[in-house]
Structure 1
Amino acid sequence: MVVDFTSSATPNLPQVRRLEAVSFRAWPAASVQYDGSWQIRLTGGHPSKRVNCVVALDRSDTRDIRLRLEKAARKFESYGRTMVFRETPLAPPQVVDVLREDGWVRFDESLVMSLDLSLMPDHDVMDHLPTQDIGRFVDASLTLRNEDDASKPALAELISNIKPPLGLFLIEQPDNGPVAAAMCVQDNDLAGLLQLAVGNAYRGQGTGFELTYAALRWARIRGAKSAWLQVQADNEAALALYRKLGFQEAYRYCYWRQDGEA
């Protein structure tokens, strides 16, 4: 399914700035450098694009676009990574024009969704308390995502570097291992939902809804007023789940890479 990046409603730029800031704290890069208002995020041990990308944070910052892209690309090369540019509503249109003119390819569109937690309806589902066992959570997350165990140290380090309070939520079966996992990061009055994963055998049974609701309820009890999350635009199952909880689209973002780069 292809979703038109320009089809979403005009975003609220102050809200975008705040959600971008809390998302950076909720999923922190190992190295953050600035070139003007451009943020260069790099993490040698973990491949996530959100911690390995260039993000422009001011629509008026349009000087020396090609030169700055070249300088950023060299920083990525020093990390053994191919540079990607993350386009949000804060990115100057002139930068996007240059990327398009120079043959860059746009990919992986995502929605940022938000929810007023005071409007979240009550649901009669089982409650789940968070664990603080990062190793156990990482093991479960990798298993549910069918990802290589070799990435465990990098993911554990990334989660350990999160500064705001967080809850790690798991549903497990004694004989069959992890069923679902989710992480909730509470940054003052905002709660971010990340890393939701449900085992293939348990999808479509309400398990993801149960664990997500438990995480949001935990954040609300702790004083969070609003929640946010990021989800790929073509993930229909996840979108249906989040909309059922009351989440609505706040804005969209996508990535750009040079043509021919994987």
Structure 2
Amino acid sequence: MPHDLPTVRRLEAVGFRAWPAASVAYDGSWQIRLTGGHPSKRLNCVVPLDPSDHRDLALRLQKAAKRFDSYGRKLIVRETPLIPPQLLSFMEAEGWAPFETADVMTVDLTELALPDTLDYLPSHDIGRFIDASLVLDKDEASLKPALAEILSSIKPQTGFFIKEVPKDGAVAVALCVQDNDLAGIMSFAVAADRRRGGLGTEILSAALRWARLSGARGAWLQVVSTNDPAIALYRKFGFRKVYEYRYWRQGVMA
């Protein structure tokens, strides 16, 4: 099914602003994103943004690989509906393979039934949010400085939502980034032993309600396509898949 490319371009643009890489360079319409302190694939990948930009594929991939090598990283290409088909064919012929797929989902906030009041007010305490996220995602504490840099670099309005309980501390978090009339849901996590108890619904409702009160008319998110429980929750809120993207690298079995 053909994609609405203007919509894809807009969602890609707000996605870049919601999770900014430390270094962004361009080779034609290929965006080269690198972040030395954080291994996130979204922050360390090449993203082609024009289906017609397919000149000198081998040379440009070689140049990008050298740039990634200078950061101590292997080259990753992110495939969206904006990628040139010729690049996909070239990568396949050269032994590249996709290794992760994610869905981009959206919902119309103007038609969404949400609570009349905010159960959770957004925090502006980046350090507290990072500490909670690291615990819930079971990430290394060494990532804290990089996360602080990323979150501090987000230019649109942000709301950090944290659910804490006595003794146990943080049990759920969500980051909402409002970019004009679109709000992105990022870093959404619920403690493993607290899932299916309504916490995810509560904190997601609060984030979306805050976004709508702040002027957002639509919301978007990105989720790994194999994360069935999360996708089921998002569908309950009315989120629907708009397109998917895949990460590619060389020498990886599909």
TM range (shorter): over 0.9
Secondary structure of the residue aligned to 1:242 is helix
1:98-247 equivalence runs, <5 A: 98-123=90-115, 127-247=119-239
Secondary structure of the residue aligned to 2:189 is strand
Alpha-carbon contact 1:125-1:210 (below 8 Å) kept: no
Q: Which amino acid aligns with 1:201?
A: D
Cα deviation code 1:132-185 (max 9, x no counterpart): 000000000000011111111111111011010100000001211101000000
From 46, 62, 65, give the equivalent of 1:73. 65
2:17 matched to 1:29?
Answer: no
Secondary structure of the residue aligned to 1:193 is strand
| Counterpart for residue 241 of structure 2 | 249
Q: Which amino acid aligns with 1:18?
A: R
Q: Which amino acid aligns with 1:113?
A: M
Q: Which amino acid aligns with 1:251?
A: Y
Distance 1:248 1:141, change over 3 A: same
| Counterpart for residue 85 of structure 1 | 77
Q: Which amino acid aligns with 1:192?
A: G
Secondary structure of the residue aligned to 2:104 is strand
Q: Which amino acid aligns with 1:61?
A: D
Alpha-carbon contact 1:55-1:87 (below 8 Å) kept: yes
Secondary structure of the residue aligned to 1:249 is strand
TM-score of the superposition, structure 2-length normalised?
0.97
Q: Which amino acid aligns with 1:60?
A: S
In 2, distance between residues paired with 1:215 and 1:21? 21
In 1, distance between residues paired with 2:95 and 2:176? 38
Number of corresponding residues: 253
| Counterpart for residue 4 of structure 1 | none
Alpha-carbon contact 2:104-2:221 (below 8 Å) kept: yes
| Counterpart for residue 54 of structure 1 | 46
In 2, distance between residues paired with 1:260 and 1:11? 27
Q: Where does structure 2 lack aligned partners over 5 or more consecutive residues?
A: none
In 1, distance between residues paired with 2:207 and 2:252? 40
Give the drift of 1:10: 2.8
Alpha-carbon contact 1:144-1:199 (below 8 Å) kept: yes
In 2, distance between residues paired with 1:148 and 1:114? 31
Secondary structure of the residue aligned to 2:113 is coil
Identity %: 58
Q: Where does structure 1 lack aligned partners over 5 or more consecutive residues?
A: 1-8
Give the drift of 1:124: 7.7
TM-score of the superposition, structure 1-length normalised?
0.94
Alpha-carbon contact 1:110-1:254 (below 8 Å) kept: yes
2:7 matched to 1:18?
Answer: no
Give the drift of 1:125: 8.3
Alpha-carbon contact 2:77-2:247 (below 8 Å) kept: yes
Q: Which amino acid aligns with 2:201?
A: F
Over 6 Å off, 4+ runs: none
